[in-house]
Amino acid sequence: SSEGREQYDVVVVGGGPGGSTLAALVAMRGHRVLILEKETFPRYQIGESLLPSTIHGVCRMTGVAEKLAAAGFTPKKGGTFRWGANAEPWTFSFSVSPKIAGATSHAYQVERSKFDNILLEHAVEKGAEVRFQTSVSDVLEDGERVTGVRYTDAGGTEHEVHATYVVDASGNGSRLHKRVGGTREYSQFFRSLALFGYFQGGKRLPAPNSGNILSVAFESGWFWYIPLTPDLTSVGAVVRRENAEKIQGDPERALLALIDECPLIKEYLSDASRVTEGQYGQLRVRKDYSYHQTKFWRPGLVLIGDAACFVDPVFSSGVHLATYSALLAARSISSSLAGIVSEEAAFTEFEARYRREYGVFYEFLMSFYDMHVDENSYFWSAKKVTHNQHTELESFVELVAGVSSSEFDLDGAESAATRMKSKSAEFVSAIDEMSADAEGNMTPLFRSSAVRQAMQEGAQVQSRAFLGEDLGPDVPMFPGGLITSDDGMLWQPGPA
Ligand code: FAD
């Protein structure tokens, strides 16, 4: 019988940035939301370098932006890269749109245990309920429709909870993503492995770039160097997957050997010591971290964030994609619950916009890898788009064209390959032009269409949150597509 059964409008699996953003947005519309989180917060997570659209766009919409501003995170004005033909590091800053320049053209470097906790507490403040140490094992179904989840509590007792919508925001280790149908496709191009840890006393870039992420290409791959606090630095090496054995054997020795290979990182860490206690005390490894699910939703179930897809960490897109997909899915859920548009239309819109954003970053990141040339390096020569696997481009085209072929006007992998090559060339020359400018003028980078496109939707979300209605109406992405409501919280039918 259905007597005494627990019923919510929305059950969110996972309280990371994707899950808590979605929960806050849907709760703000007055719906009953339950978050089930496997761990107890605060908990460790990787993904510390953020993009401005997360902070000034989505987090402004949920109202958590002020709490983040007060938390004392390191302001990040942009990225500094030793990457490409130029031997000198070059810097680009986040001044995407002159309309929103100034106070909002920065992001943060965050300790994720603190950041994720602030977002989750904020969702609770907005009306969501949260249960920790609850591990979701499967979905409940009624025919085609997902109607809830089964979970185990801290004491090992199994429970069922019903919901009109289940949101899988449980990250890369999701146990539910398969239940949406389709498969998780792993990228061959971005097949690599990261080894990372934390250091005290590392050097800082000179002001005003001291809060920037520093990314350094070297023969075996590339390093990230993220200033989390004045004293604490997150340091990680991304290398080919074939290095796994070496790294798992003795991670400490492997990391030191990689640092030795990379003079700039070695110099920045010359007075530093590795943190060996607490949440930052261990070296960690992550592999195979670029993939996308071939379907993002079915009736009653939707995937967001890393549960749906992830692409390579080099441009800090992970938390952006998690919070942006949370915003898209929240609009779909709230509009569908309010009966404004059909469920089918609402989630088709979600999937189309999410795939477009993922696709833009995917393509941008391929160009970014393509621009670094090292003929003698196995890692870098495998990353040349020009002699890249055809299949990768084909699956990229399928990925993006799947929902919205009219938008992309791609007639097959061949044209995508041509486009990719010209984009990389344009991208490289934009970088060259920029690094040639002694004044540090950043505009040429944004003249590259690859970068402009990658930043466009984020800037759009940011402008909307910042300027509200002044932005003017949204345009449908495809014929019959939906548009965003003025407050950004819902979909509405496009112009007839
Ligand atoms: P998560 O942050 O993974 O949160 C998922 C939550 O679900 C967790 O709290 C987990 O405990 C919970 N959960 C899992 N399973 C269950 C279950 N069965 N039941 C209940 N709860 C469950 N991104 C950036 O933006 N910037 C970076 O610099 C960056 N660097 C990265 C470096 C590396 C090496 C990697 C691998 C990733 C990096 N990322 C980066 C990506 C970033 O880590 C993720 O994209 C981001 O954390 C995704 O957020 P999420 O909310 O989807 O999932």
Look at residues 322, 399, 234 and name the one whose alpha carbon lies nearest to residue 53: 322
CB of residue 8 inside a 6 A radius of ligand 1: no
Ligand 1 atom with the smallest distance to the CA of 304 is: 52
* 422 vs 35: CA distance, rounded Å: 45
Look at residues 461, 369, 445 and name the one whose alpha carbon lies nearest to residue 100: 461
Question: What's the pLDDT at 410?
Answer: 45
Does ipTM exceed 0.85? yes
CB of residue 187 inside a 6 A radius of ligand 1: no
CB of residue 136 inside a 6 A radius of ligand 1: yes
Across the chain, which has 496 residues, the per-10-residue mean pLDDT values are 80 98 98 98 97 90 97 94 85 62 79 98 98 98 98 97 98 96 88 94 95 95 97 96 80 95 97 98 90 95 97 89 97 98 96 90 83 79 67 66 47 64 74 57 56 70 70 80 92 89
DSSP letter string, 162-200: EEEEEEE---TT-SSGGGGSS-EEEPSTT-EEEEEEEEE
Chain-centroid distance, C-alpha 34: 23
Instruction: Report if pTM > 0.90.
Output: yes
Instruction: Please give the angle made by the CA atoms of 117, 118 and 124, to the nearest 5 degrees.
Output: 90
Edge-to-edge strands, sheet with 184-186: 184-186, 291-293, 309-310
CB of residue 52 inside a 6 A radius of ligand 1: no
Nearest CA to ligand 1 atom 6: 14
CB of residue 221 inside a 6 A radius of ligand 1: no
CB of residue 458 inside a 6 A radius of ligand 1: no
Q: What is the CA radius of gyration of the chain?
A: 22
Give, to the nearest 10 degrees, the angle between helix 390-408 and helix 343-370.
130
Ligand 1 atom with the smallest distance to the CA of 39 is: 11
State which of 12, 153, 158, 319 you would mutate to test the pocket of ligand 1, scoring each by most atoms of that ligand within 8 A of its C-beta: 319
Question: What's the pLDDT at 415?
Answer: 66
Question: What's the pLDDT at 342?
Answer: 97
Nearest CA to ligand 1 atom 44: 318
CB of residue 194 inside a 6 A radius of ligand 1: yes
Domains of the chain: 7-77+110-187+290-352 (3.50.50.60), 192-287 (3.30.9.100)
Ligand 1 atom with the smallest distance to the CA of 170 is: 7
Question: What's the pLDDT at 221?
Answer: 93
Chain-centroid distance, C-alpha 263: 29
Instruction: Please give the angle made by the CA atoms of 378, 384 and 385, to the nearest 5 degrees.
Output: 150
Look at residues 189, 185, 147, 459 and name the one whose alpha carbon lies nearest to residue 296: 185
Q: How far is the CA of 212 from the centre of ligand 1 (A)?
A: 22
Q: How far is CA 103 from CA 29, 310, 412, 442, in A?
A: 29, 29, 42, 17
**Residues 257-274: pLDDT tens digits?**
999 999 999 999 999 999
Residue 333 near residue 303, CB atoms below 8 Å:
no
* 403 vs 387: CA distance, rounded Å: 28
